[in-house]
Amino acid sequence: MDSPDYEHFAAIPWCAHHLQGDRLVIATSPSRILKPTGEDALFSQTLNSESTIFRLLQAYEEPLSSTQRVNEVKAFLTLGGGLNGYPNVCHGGLVTTILDEVIGMLIPINQERKRIPGGTYMTAYLNTSFVKPVPTPITILTRTWFTKVEGRKLFMQGTIEDENGVILVRADALYIQLKTSL
């Protein structure tokens, strides 16, 4: 893969370790691209700078069978001091925003694979547990996975980890497919 996001994380040894594997699919997050409708303005413009979220990259392992769901996504983010709530600590509301974004990455990946129904999904709840402060500047690893799928309901969890694998934040989320589009 040839992109500034990939090159950035591949140059960080602990991130590079996670970016290896024969079945690994690596991509710049689609939310970093502003859509003509204005969709994704938050992550493509507002939070896309050296002082906010400088780099963002997603990765997942391609399942062995095309009938299998992608159950886990990793995302790497480099956060700057423009996200501070306290000196050198990322604002808790932005930490929750980051988790909402990365947990939601599972949805379009699996919709493209036709493993979950198409349509619009919205966050019904996102319960966040702040285990330790998220310092800035920092490069973090987020992990997100399905815990259960029930019809229109997608139950998922996610974490934010530092370079040593220490969990800084945990979240439980429920996304629901809307019956009508927005």
Catalytic residues: 100
CB 149 within 8 A of CB 116: yes
Residue 43 C-beta-side C-alpha neighbours within 13 Å: 22
Closest CA to 52 of 20, 78, 23: 78
State yes or no: cis peptide before 137, omega within 30 of 0: yes
3-class DSSP state of 130: strand
Q: Hey, what are 113's tokens?
A: 């694979």
Separation of CA 173 from chain center: 13
CB 84 within 8 A of CB 133: no
